[in-house]
């Protein structure tokens, strides 16, 4: 184990984090409670909106792209801001896990809370042929998860013009927008 005590102590010395709640860029629309965006792109504070002469799809696509880019920028900024905090959290995790192991405890209660250890388990297939042969020869079907393959169900329904018995198939349409 590397010595992470200094990093953890630095964490404890960090002043409280202030979260910036206002967006400096006024090009991103913000809505007050009860406010909506009318079909022509104007903000509506609750008054009835007259029907627009024509839907301005170009304007909506522009708004969508701008907002999507802004959200991506915010996510990236937050991801970078959280990196050192997540690293410190991992260091604390490692220190506490090492301590639990050194004293032979599964859990310890403190005035601040209870620390306990759990096992995170994973099983991924490295060789599908070998795994499938084992399941079939051992007749051990509990080793498999049961779930319908979406693409195969879709193909079956197109080919046979009927649903697959026992399967709920749904399809939902959403818009996609590419930048020019």
**Residue-wise pLDDT tens digits, 135-160:** 999 999 999 988 999 999 999 999 99
Q: What is the pTM of this model?
A: 0.52
pLDDT for res 50: 62
pLDDT for res 173: 81
Residue 116 is encoded by which pair of tokens?
């306990």
Alpha-carbon distances, residue 18 vs 21, 91, 140 (angstroms): 9, 23, 55
**What does the pLDDT look like over 16-45, one tens digit per residue?**
434 344 444 555 555 656 556 655 555 555
pLDDT for res 154: 95
Alpha-carbon distances, residue 27 vs 7, 23, 59, 121, 136 (angstroms): 39, 9, 14, 46, 60
**What does the pLDDT look like over 83-109, one tens digit per residue?**
999 999 999 999 999 999 999 999 999
Give the distance from CA 112 to its chain's centroid: 29
């Amino acid at each position: 184990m590397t010595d992470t005590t200094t990093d953890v102590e630095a964490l404890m010395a960090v002043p409280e984090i202030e979260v910036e709640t206002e967006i400096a860029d006024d090009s991103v629309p913000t809505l007050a409670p009860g406010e909506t965006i009318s079909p022509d792109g104007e903000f509506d504070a609750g008054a009835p909106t007259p029907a627009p002469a024509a839907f301005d799809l170009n304007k909506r696509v522009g708004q969508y792209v701008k907002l999507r880019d802004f959200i991506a920028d915010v996510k990236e900024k937050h991801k970078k801001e959280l990196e050192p905090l997540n690293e410190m959290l991992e260091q604390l995790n490692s220190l506490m896990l090492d301590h639990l192991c050194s004293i032979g405890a599964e859990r310890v209660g403190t005035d601040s809370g209870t620390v306990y250890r759990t096992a995170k388990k994973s099983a991924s297939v490295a060789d599908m042929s070998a795994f499938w042969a084992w399941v079939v020869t051992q007749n051990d079907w509990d080793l498999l998860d049961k779930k319908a393959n979406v693409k195969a169900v879709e193909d079956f329904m197109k080919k046979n013009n009927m649903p697959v018995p026992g399967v709920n198939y749904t399809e939902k349409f959403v818009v996609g927008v590419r930048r020019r």
